[in-house]
Structure 1
Amino acid sequence: MKLEGQTAIAGLKGGLVRGTVRDAVCAFRGIPYGERIDSTSRYSDIRPPAWWHGELDATMPGAVFPQRRSRLAVVMGDAISANPQSEDAFVLNVWAPVSGNSLPVFVFIHGGGFMTGGGSAPWYDGERLARDGRFIVVTVNYRLGAFGHCAKEGDPAGANRPVRDLLRALEWVQQNIAQFGGDPADVTVSGQSAGAWYAWLLGVSPAARGMLRRNILFSLPIVPPMNHDEARHTSREFMEQAGGREFDALSTDDILSAQVAVMRSRMAFGEVAVAFRPAFEEGLVPEWLFDFRRAAREAHVGETLVGSTAEESAAFMFIEPPLVGADEATVREWYGRQYADQSARVYAELARRRPGHSPYTQLVDGSSFKMFGAGVEHLCQAFHEAGRAAYPFLFNVQSHVPDLMSPHCLELPLLFGNRQGWSDAPMIARVSDAVFERAGADLRSAVGGFVSDGTPQSAAGEPWQRYSPLASRISEFQDSGVSARRWETGLITPEDFARLP
């Protein structure tokens, strides 16, 4: 990488790219990592991009894949609307400290319920994270919704185009990251929400072996891959909503409208609806992905850092009057549908853990535990049994927005430390600058230590203790700082959890 004033030039396998330099960090935006093999087909897999002549301008924000406004814009804001949209947004972004050599690499996969988001969004500007952590930051786009998951009749594995997109991006990292001062043998893959789902998958899928060393999972959703019947049904339902025309004959707007209709068909009281997602495919997406004991045995990552926010599901519920105002009987009925014969015990235990609970907080806690919290616990137990290191955390910095508490996505602006990229995000509007900076520094210290050597550390440089059931501790990020506290586990066993509806 060569510096020329306020710009930087890197020579990649496909050609030269020119980025910018600010405060000792080089930024390269919108670098292509792939292109469709068949540019006329939305079903097409991708290949390495064609070489280009001269210098590729990588100074401006790249495109994101087509999407409608996120259901979480009410907490995250609309900063992504500044990005152009394209069905060929196979681009990634790199932030690299100047004069780096063999630095560890942090690859971040965005969330968005498999439907929205983009690594090119202002939310994920990696400049501060790269500078504070002294590592390379890479953010990446992948195909969304039906663009990624609509499968041809008779080919349910066609629902896995985003997985192949991400594998191509990791191959790009292996081939090119040394040109930015990174070490391709020291890659941590991280993600949040759907991005954590992919980061978890990549850590256990044989197809990604050798391309990552460890992973970080922010709010990993326990959503199993579709089986082949589900994949066929979802694709058929989508095509019916789109008028039964051929996928490649549809306009982008037709596809986005049909996606919305499919999602609406999945909505129910207290549910975080998920429709489009990857499907089981031998050698790529294992059907045992959330059998944590087997996954821990099969994993090819050495360590994992995994956690959730304290009230994940509040992000999906806090503006819905029927949910905020639900009575106890209605919420207990919901528990019955979600937890079956475990419902009364789970309800009582979650109520005990939250003094001053209400029907609404019970709904938030029950939903958050089932979709996110249980996975943290069971993954850590499984990694310990397999002799692997796991480090659990709880992000409990509060939004101070009524009924929102510490919701899904709140850790992201603090992780990236770029408040300006989240200037219209309601979830941080009431978080003071002092808390934003202190909690953000704590989170970046933990992530930085883990990316560097596989052990998270405090801002003072003290290493975290790996999970052990004999001294069950969890690191909790709060407004006032981070501390390790006793972790109340055992609410529901992995075996009982696997039998839930």
Structure 2
Amino acid sequence: MPLESSRRRFLQHCLSVSTAALLPPFALADLASPTQVTVAQGVLQGQQQADGTRSWKGVPFARPPVGKLRFKAPQPLQAWYAPLKAEAYGPWAVQQPYPPVLQDKPKGEEDCLYLNVWAPASPAVHVRPVLVWLHGGAFVLGSGGDPRFDGSDYARRGDLIFVTVNYRMGGFGYLGVHAEPGAANLGLQDQVAALRWVRDNISAFGGDPHNVTVMGESAGAMSIGCLLGVPAAKGLFARAIIQSGGARPLFQADEAAQVLHQVLQAGGVDAAQLQQMPVAELNNLFIKVAEQSNTPLLGGEAYHPAVDGSLLPVHPLEALHPVPTLIGHCRDESGLFVAGKAVNLLEGLPARVRAKVGEATWAQVEQTYQQSTGAEGDWQRELFSDIFVGVPALRLADRLAAAGAPVWAYRFDYANAGPYGPCHGSDIPYTFGLGQPGKGRGSFTAAEQRLSEQMRDSFIAFAHTGSPQTAALPTWPRHEPQALAYLRFDTPVSVASDYLGAARRALWETVPIAAL
């Protein structure tokens, strides 16, 4: 969106020609209704949903990162003096294309730092737990305003407050254009800013700022894996639900500098010119670099967090905040990327690990997977899945448990979850009760509906009590590095042990954490 339009939207947040503009925010509290709340910056006017729940959409949590604020840390909001209408989602962050199976074309705007809140139909005398959802999308696409992440069901079914968040992505969020501390992790900084907003304001919606569970899938889950090692995020959430993620992908500081150099070289520009380029032209430059990302440096993932020595001082696994955590992944993570012909990632990620571990170790890796893969399997797909999520998830679970955190592990195994089986992202419709992909709500079979309810109820229970155990599930043991028990979300649900296998675990124990 043009800069002028972005400024105009922000001014609409702050100004009004109504007489209410003459009143300070606290004076507007007398106007309160079940859909009107007062936050630190002023009054928000939400709406009642068809199902009875209440929502506040398109709520700004930081100033628009446009103009001079491009590539800068999120800045605090100014107050507004008339009720701010919060009835429509804010703009998505600037998007980059990915395989057609995921997205047809890019969209979005730089003015993107908005969140959305859902609450049960009426205020309660008790405070409610809070679930904050961080969306996925390979750190280059997606939005908390995606209708698939509507929080009404969780608010109604779970008697809790549900929040979804936007954050900057691609080169806008993870390039490190400036020398300021944390500049290579602006997307993570946005997430921290949103969590601070939740801490400071969620009580106005009936939420408990001391009982916040952060929950995410794919890049959202990987972000949480990083936030568990971000000092600025400590205390902003009490629990974590990690779906298809771990403490990866991460550049080292020198690698992040090399990525910036590649972008500048590809565009024939300097950092100051990046600051001034029109958004579409700049995004096309970021896309150009990403299209050539199947290299050992980029690993098919051109833009993502970095161990920068400031916001993320060291690798998260070396300095975890040990909060209760529920962590899982899908049985065949690779299926989506194979179907979508995501060649850069399928080739680049193994190439990156190979370069990190060296040829001798990589030969052992290939041999181990060839020997441990069953006749019906594909050892290269299984290797990709384990590098992408399986091993990082296990490492994170092990480290959290060793630090004293209660941890529960699961795997999504339902073979008919979608056209590509139990692959990356196939659990999202079950997480939100959506029905089969492309078929809408109500398209679950009875068994699938029950599976979805079992998943949602376990997440809700975890947000309320710190344990995912429900009466509908078999006894779900905690994750222990020796026992390695996990819950299989399938029809029926069951308990199993050691999804990786002894030979593969022994192999990866010899590989440094930074290699993945």
Q: 1:381 to 1:255 in 2, by over 3 A?
A: same
Are residues 1:44 and 2:72 paired? yes
> Equivalents in 2 of 1:216, 1:41: separation in Å?
32
Aligned-residue offset at 1:383:
2.6
For residue 374 of structure 1, give the secondary structure of its aligned residue in structure 2.
helix
Given residue 56 of structure 2, which amino acid in structure 1 is its aligned partner?
Answer: F
Q: 1:222, 1:372 within 8 Å by CA — same for their partners in 2?
A: no
Structure 2 alignment gaps of length 5 or more = 1-28, 348-353
Are residues 1:240 and 2:251 paired? no
> Equivalents in 2 of 1:306, 1:412: separation in Å?
14
Q: Alignment partner for residue 89 of structure 2, among 43, 61, 72? A: 61
Aligned-residue offset at 1:461:
6.7
Q: Alignment partner for residue 450 of structure 1, among 453, 462, 474? A: 462
Q: 1:319 to 1:159 in 2, by over 3 A?
A: closer
Are residues 1:497 and 2:497 paired? no
Are residues 1:226 and 2:251 paired? yes
Q: Alignment partner for residue 25 of structure 1, among 38, 53, 57? A: 53
Cα deviations across residues 20-54 of structure 1 (Å, max 9, x unaligned)? 22323211110000015874341222222121122
Q: 1:255 to 1:221 in 2, by over 3 A?
A: farther
Q: Which residue of 2 aligns with 1:368?
A: 385
Aligned-residue offset at 1:342:
2.9
What TM-score results when the alignment is normalised by the length of structure 2? Answer: 0.82
**Where do residues 251-330 of structure 1 align in structure 2 (5 Å cutoff)?**
251-267=278-294, 273-289=300-316, 292=317, 294=318, 298-320=319-341
Given residue 453 of structure 1, which amino acid in structure 2 is its aligned partner?
Answer: T
User: How many residues align structurally?
Assistant: 468
Q: Which residue of 2 aligns with 1:483?
A: 494
| Bigger relative CO (Cα 8 Å, ≥ 6 apart) | 1
Among the aligned pairs, what percent are the same residue? 27
> Equivalents in 1 of 2:37, 2:401: separation in Å?
41
Are residues 1:408 and 2:424 paired? yes
Are residues 1:437 and 2:449 paired? yes
> Equivalents in 2 of 1:14, 1:194: separation in Å?
30
Q: Alignment partner for residue 174 of structure 1, among 199, 219, 227? A: 199
Q: Which residue of 2 aligns with 1:329?
A: none
Given residue 168 of structure 2, which amino acid in structure 1 is its aligned partner?
Answer: R
Q: 1:470 to 1:159 in 2, by over 3 A?
A: closer
> Equivalents in 2 of 1:321, 1:381: separation in Å?
30
What TM-score results when the alignment is normalised by the length of structure 1? Answer: 0.84
Q: Which residue of 2 aligns with 1:187?
A: 212
For residue 439 of structure 1, give the secondary structure of its aligned residue in structure 2.
helix
Q: Which residue of 1 aligns with 2:123?
A: 99
Q: 1:212, 1:301 within 8 Å by CA — same for their partners in 2?
A: no
Are residues 1:214 and 2:239 paired? yes
Aligned-residue offset at 1:241:
2.5
> Equivalents in 1 of 2:497, 2:108: separation in Å?
46
> Equivalents in 2 of 1:157, 1:104: separation in Å?
30
Q: 2:133, 2:164 within 8 Å by CA — same for their partners in 1?
A: yes
Q: 1:495 to 1:261 in 2, by over 3 A?
A: same
Q: 1:395, 1:477 within 8 Å by CA — same for their partners in 2?
A: yes
Given residue 118 of structure 2, which amino acid in structure 1 is its aligned partner?
Answer: W
Q: 1:250 to 1:38 in 2, by over 3 A?
A: closer
Q: Which residue of 2 aligns with 1:16?
A: 43
Q: 2:184, 2:308 within 8 Å by CA — same for their partners in 1?
A: no
Q: 2:65, 2:71 within 8 Å by CA — same for their partners in 1?
A: no
Structure 1 alignment gaps of length 5 or more = 327-332
Compute the RMSD of aligned alpha carbons: 3.3
Given residue 394 of structure 2, which amino acid in structure 1 is its aligned partner?
Answer: E
